[in-house]
């Protein structure tokens, strides 16, 4: 992965537990890359870990803007940024990658966000408004204090800010306000898995085809409780039983084999490992469809085995 050195030009407490970060090139030069809405960057924090954060702004603004939630279970990524990062500090940042692009078209766009899931959708919203494309944003937050960017969005008639609802009331609100599908319409959603599942299920009931539905997970997929698997580490000459709910990386570590990792979320590619034999259950967001179909690669930090035995080149 290639990195550029960037400098924190601005920091702001955007909402309860959410830090807004504005980055520019450390040498004040123009940005060496561009991106489309939905993109994210890898950020290497001062604690050494790498995390992925969506870009909330458009590429023509000449800077990189992020909104970072302080995760309760942070292992040094968001916690370091919230507690240690200061204006003028330097960070290593990757070129943007986009696993959640805004699809081309002129039809209406419905954006449905919950919590920090608003970050990629905010850039999409701004792009649609700039292109005069019909767009509506539904943004759910735990409370008014937890809502990010509300000062910018509050008076916008195309935005609905919904806060303080319990899960049942969120479902009732969606049931009341999620429209039936119209030709050329697209729906994008980002937030907790349960929230996105509810949105997608309700959209399907309203006639939305799967080709018009798009979502992004902003946290690692949960490791499935599949039966125990035999993991063979061909290069090291070792094998180990992977317990239900255990990652392949953790199992390999128990066997004395270290597989390099960085994000731990199947997004950065640091742990990509060759597959010698076995059927992979892919849960990452890094490999392309062609790479997955080849069966040659796996992201062992989140992916697993669909059978009883998996042999890796590790």
Q: Is the pLDDT of residue 152 over 70?
A: yes
Kindly state the average pLDDT of the residues 143-167. Answer: 94
Q: How many domains does the chain have?
A: 3
Query: What is the chain's Cα-based Rg?
Result: 21
Q: Is the pLDDT of residue 205 over 90?
A: yes
Q: Look at residue 227 in the predicted model and tell me its pLDDT.
A: 60
Same-domain pairing of 199 and 234:
no
Domain with 85 in it: 3-94
Three-state DSSP class for 139?
strand
Q: Look at residue 246 in the predicted model and tell me its pLDDT.
A: 83
CATH of the domain at 8: 2.40.30.10
* pLDDT tens column, 92-121: 999 999 989 999 999 999 999 999 999 999
What does each C-alpha distance from 20 to 3, 10, 17, 108, 149 come to in angstroms? Answer: 21, 8, 10, 29, 9
In a domain, 10, yes or no: yes
**CA-closest candidate to residue 300, choices 277, 283, 276:** 283
Q: Look at residue 288 in the predicted model and tell me its pLDDT.
A: 83
In a domain, 104, yes or no: no
Q: Residue 210: what are its φ and ψ, rounded to 5°?
A: -60, -25
Structure tokens belonging to residue 42: 């890898």
Residues 174 and 140 sit within 8 Å (Cβ to Cβ): no
Same-domain pairing of 19 and 60:
yes
* pLDDT tens column, 217-227: 655 544 555 56
Structure-token match 């081309």, residue found: 104
- Pairing mode, if any, of strands 309-312 and 229-233? parallel
Structure tokens belonging to residue 238: 């070792």
Q: Look at residue 2 in the predicted model and tell me its pLDDT.
A: 80
In a domain, 47, yes or no: yes
């Amino acid at each position: 992965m290639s990195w550029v050195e960037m400098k924190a030009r601005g920091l702001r407490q955007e909402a309860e537990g959410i830090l807004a970060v504005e980055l520019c090139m450390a040498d004040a030069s123009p940005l060496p890359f561009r991106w489309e809405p939905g993109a994210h960057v890898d950020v290497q924090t001062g604690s050494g870990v790498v995390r992925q954060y969506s870009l909330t702004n458009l590429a023509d603004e000449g800077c990189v803007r992020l909104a970072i939630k302080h995760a309760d279970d942070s292992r040094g990524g968001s916690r370091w940024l919230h507690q240690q990062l200061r204006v003028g500090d330097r960070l290593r940042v990757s070129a943007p990658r986009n696993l959640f692009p805004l699809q081309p078209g002129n039809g209406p766009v419905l954006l449905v966000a919950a919590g920090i899931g608003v970050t990629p959708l905010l850039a999409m919203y701004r792009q649609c408004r700039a292109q005069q494309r019909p767009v509506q944003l539904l943004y759910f937050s735990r409370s008014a204090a937890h809502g990010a960017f509300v000062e910018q969005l509050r008076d916008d008639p195309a935005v609905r800010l919904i806060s303080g609802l319990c899960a049942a009331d969120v479902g009732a609100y969606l049931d009341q306000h999620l429209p039936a599908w119209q030709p050329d319409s697209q729906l994008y959603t980002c937030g907790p898995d349960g929230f996105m599942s509810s949105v997608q299920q309700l959209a399907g009931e309203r006639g939305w085809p799967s080709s018009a539905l798009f979502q992004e997970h902003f946290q690692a997929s949960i490791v499935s409780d599949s039966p125990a698997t035999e993991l063979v580490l061909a290069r090291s000459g070792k094998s180990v039983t992977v317990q239900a709910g255990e990652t392949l990386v953790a199992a390999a570590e128990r066997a004395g084999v270290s597989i390099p990792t960085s994000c731990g979320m199947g997004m950065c590619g640091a742990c990509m490992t060759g597959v010698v034999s076995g059927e992979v259950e892919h849960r990452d967001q890094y490999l392309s469809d062609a790479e997955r179909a080849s069966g040659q690669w796996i992201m062992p930090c989140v992916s697993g085995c669909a059978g009883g035995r998996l042999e890796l080149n590790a």
